[in-house]
Structure 1
Amino acid sequence: MVLNIDVDGEHVPSTLIASGREYELIRGDNRASDAAVLAALPTLLSKGTLALPSFIGDDGLFPGAAHRGRIVGPRPETPAEWQALAVLYAAFSANRSLDALGSSKRIIIDGGFAANLPFARCLATLRSQQSVGISQSRDGTALGAALLWRRFSRTLPVSSVMLESVTSLSKDGFNPGDLSAAYQSWIAFSEPAS
């Protein structure tokens, strides 16, 4: 965890994790449509298949996890299942980070994961008490800098960030309890024994 400072000098608790890199390592060369990935999620959850930290040389959220990443349960069989496994891993990592930060307000997904609808919908399902939005701007960082500039120099307009609201998987008949139970299993497998 790190502590950043916002433009007003307020503390902004943050985490630094490499979920994007780990997502790519788990997914490998497997590619599938969003619909196929979403359809594969219940299959993985029913089999109890999980990817556990950490697939890189960094502990991330779990001390001692570096280079210990592994898959428990039956291995995925299709490209959609491999990609769904990577989505679950990234969503569980994000959810664990948000739990550690005590997150309770709106969540905005920006950057590479903003284009990953299955990830966003899993996170919205896990964080059902919070609204989740996806940034529609490809240049979120540059737009953020422009909005900060505009705050102090209001001579030129800068467009605001457009957000798309994300719906829970429960809207499609998916049982959110299955995802929550898998998350709890992932935590139990991943937390070091005390």
Structure 2
Amino acid sequence: MGRAIRSPTRRCPGRLWPARGSWGGEEYARIAGRDNPHRASVAGVAALVRDGVMALPSFTDSGGPVPHRGGRGEILGTSSIMEEALANLATLYTAQMTSVALDALGRTEKVVVDGPFATNIAFLQTLCALMPGRRILRALEAQGTALGSASLAIGAAAPEPRIDPVATPDIPGLEAYHHHWMAAAIA
């Protein structure tokens, strides 16, 4: 879950910063399949929301931000789902888990996503829709985490990341779907 770390940089000495470790990539792979060539889309995510198809935590042993759900992952709402839809389901699921984790860390106005999830536009836009009032930004450098870690290790300020804002899509029924998902996830 979340934890606070003290930053040794000159830029923010002694300030607490929320941090979160995640198995999001592994969770995504276990739902979508490691060799799934399909890319998720907001239209595909919206179709799953409309049909009530959901993945409940957690597909790894960690449980992520939902306590006591480690290793209990399950897909509800359909008996057979196409490989293309699995990429959409994995995207929707990881966006929801990220939203829950970020909410647990407390209110922030801006969220910067880097790494592989920064290339999944459907993930970014779904996260935007799940977190109204927050600016979701995607890092354009693939090595953002490494640069930040290096700056902490050497005590120097990291270069400002190149980021792009993410547009919020209209996903009808997402708020009600997410509330239903949360209730089912903690049951």
Question: What's the TM-score bracket when you normalise by the shorter of the two chains?
Answer: 0.7 to 0.9
Q: Give the equivalent residue in structure 2 for 1:23.
A: 28
- One-letter amino acid of the structure 2 residue matched with residue 66 of structure 1: G
Give the TM-score of the pair, scaled to structure 2.
0.86
Which is higher, the Rg of structure 1 or of structure 2? 1
- One-letter amino acid of the structure 1 residue matched with residue 38 of structure 2: A
Q: Give the secondary structure class of the aligned counterpart of 1:107.
A: strand
Q: Give the secondary structure class of the aligned counterpart of 1:168.
A: coil
Q: Give the equivalent residue in structure 2 for 1:181.
A: 176
In the TM superposition, what is the alpha-carbon distance from 1:38 to its structure 2 partner? 2.2
Q: Give the secondary structure class of the aligned counterpart of 2:59.
A: coil
| Stretch moving more, 140-149 or 89-98 | 140-149
Which segments of 5 or more consecutive residues in structure 1 lack a partner in the other structure? 153-157
Structure 1 CA distance, aligned partners of 2:52 and 2:105? 27
Give the TM-score of the pair, scaled to structure 1.
0.83
- One-letter amino acid of the structure 2 residue matched with residue 33 of structure 1: R
**CA offsets per residue over residues 41-89 of structure 1, 9 Å max, x none?**
2221111110001111122222221111001111463332110100011
Q: Give the equivalent residue in structure 1 for 2:54.
A: 50
**CA offsets per residue over residues 137-171 of structure 1, 9 Å max, x none?**
1221343356666957xxxxx8631111100112x
Pair 1:99–1:75, CA change in 2 (3 A): farther
Q: Which has the higher contact order (CA 8 A, sep 6+)?
A: 2
Structure 1 CA distance, aligned partners of 2:94 and 2:6? 25
CA contact (8 A) 1:44 1:76 kept: no
2:165 aligned with 1:165: yes
Q: Give the equivalent residue in structure 2 for 1:3.
A: 4
Pair 1:75–1:113, CA change in 2 (3 A): farther
Which segments of 5 or more consecutive residues in structure 2 lack a partner in the other structure? none
In the TM superposition, what is the alpha-carbon distance from 1:103 to its structure 2 partner? 2.3
Q: Give the secondary structure class of the aligned counterpart of 2:161.
A: coil
Structure number with the higher helix fraction is: 1
Q: How many residues align?
A: 180
CA contact (8 A) 2:92 2:126 kept: yes
Q: Give the secondary structure class of the aligned counterpart of 2:164.
A: strand
The CA RMSD over aligned residues, in Å, is 2.2
Pair 1:127–1:9, CA change in 2 (3 A): same
- One-letter amino acid of the structure 2 residue matched with residue 4 of structure 1: I
